[in-house]
Amino acid sequence: MKTQTKRLLAESFKYCIDNDKSTEFMLQYMQDTANVSLDCVTSFIIKLHVSAKAGGQNLLKTKPK
């Protein structure tokens, strides 16, 4: 997955969490924002969850534009 795609997914995920959006909205919003498939979004969220449980790198930390 490209760095730009990860950044877009992380930003859209954070937006949805911060604004208490539904899961259905979040999945579609992430797909539309990053122009990726549902499989890609799902993979990103799973990696985010696994990384958080393992105490690893925070995928939501994005570099400033």
pLDDT score of 7: 95
pLDDT score of 62: 53
pLDDT score of 38: 97
> What is the pTM (predicted TM-score) of this model?
0.78
At residue 65, does pLDDT exceed 50? no
Tokens representing residue 54 in the block: 């393992």
Domain parsing of the chain, residue ranges: 3-53
- Which amino acid does the sequence have at 53? K
pLDDT bin (cut points 50, 70, 90) of residue 53 is confident
pLDDT score of 1: 81
Contacts of 65 (CB under 8 A, 6+ apart): none
